[in-house]
Amino acid sequence: MAMGHFGPVGNILGHEGVGRIAALGSNVAALDQSVQVGQRVGVAWIRDICGTCESCVDLVNEGETRCDKALHSGKAYDGTFAQYTLVPLRYLAQLPPQLDELPDEEIAPILCGGVTAYKAIKGCHVTPGQWFAISGAGGGVGALAVAYAHAMGYRVIAVDAGPEKGEICRAQGAEHYIDVTMPGTLGEKVRQATGGHGAKAVVVTATATVAYQEAFQLLAPFGTLMCVGILSAEARVDFNPLWLIAHGWKILSSSVGTRADILEALEFVRRRAVVPKVQLGRLQDIEELFQTMHAGQLRGKWVLKLD
């Protein structure tokens, strides 16, 4: 988003926020008396939806995440890299009391990155015990995808670049880690790890064209390629439709998660089936962190704590 892949942005970026309500709008009490000043709540990527467009009313496909008129954090509304922000009541992430013991830094990453990973994995409809590959597994969304896939009973193959990211992936439950900087083709390594079968699902969280291009090599017959990582508007991925026809492959996509998905994803954290591995930074570190992220050198998930 900071690199412009989502079009124009606002003056203040940031989402995945957790904080306490400082003030209420004049009609909030009439709409929901349970919302109170001082209550701990979350701020997700989506700030509001219209609730009436073709996407919003498509409950079967959880269409609210693709609302034609959706308003987003850091675009229509000032983001969470600030002391205060404004959240419409309809899309306020109200955190249930059973989450009270979880620290803010474990809840915040789930409100976008975590729920994105969870919903993408859930959407593959793979039987537990089968092989599941995650490309870009050492990044913020990718590492959480490894954790959720492991918690949901899949045998996880993590794919990324460099030995440091391998440590992150194994800590989140990856059974195998494949370093793309090492000699050998990615497809051969995945088939070796899976006894020649390939992965029943591949979730691409990486934001590189080559990650999508190579993902087809990893798929088992009747496998699913789930698209999550966002490329630039100019990027192109080449494939032959015959690959899908001959192997029974499916290509799907997933975008963040619904309000219900957020609560489901947080339940994994409450039960400690998923424990976000986060590093804490300060708001004054943000420029350095963005430069590191842009260079592809950011390890895992970072959370900024406001003093």
Architecture category of domain 17-112+257-305 in CATH: Alpha-Beta Complex (3.90)
Cβ neighbors of 215 (< 8 A, separation 6 or more) are 133, 135, 202, 204, 225
Q: Write out the residue limits of the CATH 3.40.50.720 domain(s) in the chain.
A: 117-253
Q: Is 95 left (phi over 0), alpha (psi -120 to 50) or beta?
A: beta
Q: Which two tokens stand for residue 106?
A: 């474990």
- The count of C-alpha atoms lying within 13 angstroms of the C-alpha of 193, restricted to the half-sphere facing its C-beta, is 25
Q: Residue type at 93?
A: A
Q: Write out the residue limits of the CATH 3.90.180.10 domain(s) in the chain.
A: 17-112+257-305
pLDDT in 10s for each residue of the chain, 307 residues: 666 666 677 788 888 899 999 999 999 999 999 999 999 999 998 989 998 999 999 988 878 899 989 998 888 888 899 899 999 998 899 999 999 999 999 999 999 999 999 999 999 999 999 999 999 999 889 999 999 999 999 999 999 999 999 999 999 999 999 999 999 999 999 999 999 999 999 999 999 999 999 999 999 999 999 999 999 889 999 999 999 999 999 999 999 999 899 999 999 999 999 999 888 888 888 888 888 877 777 676 788 888 7
- Considering just the CA atoms, what is the radius of gyration of the chain in Å? 19
The label of the residue with tokens 């409809």 reads 125
Full-prediction pTM beyond 0.75? Answer: yes
Predicted pLDDT of residue 113: 94
Q: Which two tokens stand for residue 270?
A: 């409450």
Q: Residue type at 74?
A: G
Predicted pLDDT of residue 10: 77
238-241 long-range contacts (CB < 8 A, ≥24 apart) are 238/213
41-68 core/surface letters (b: 16 or more CB in 10 A; e: else): ebbbbbbbbeeebebbeeeeebbbbbbe
C-beta of residue 76 within 8 angstroms of C-beta of residue 10: yes
Which among 22, 58, 25 is positioned nearest to 40, based on CA atoms? 22
Distance CA 264, CA 268 (A): 7
Query: Domain 117-253 falls in which CATH fold?
Result: Rossmann fold (3.40.50)
In whole angstroms, how far apart are CA 303 and each of 18, 104, 139, 215, 258?
A: 10, 9, 13, 29, 22
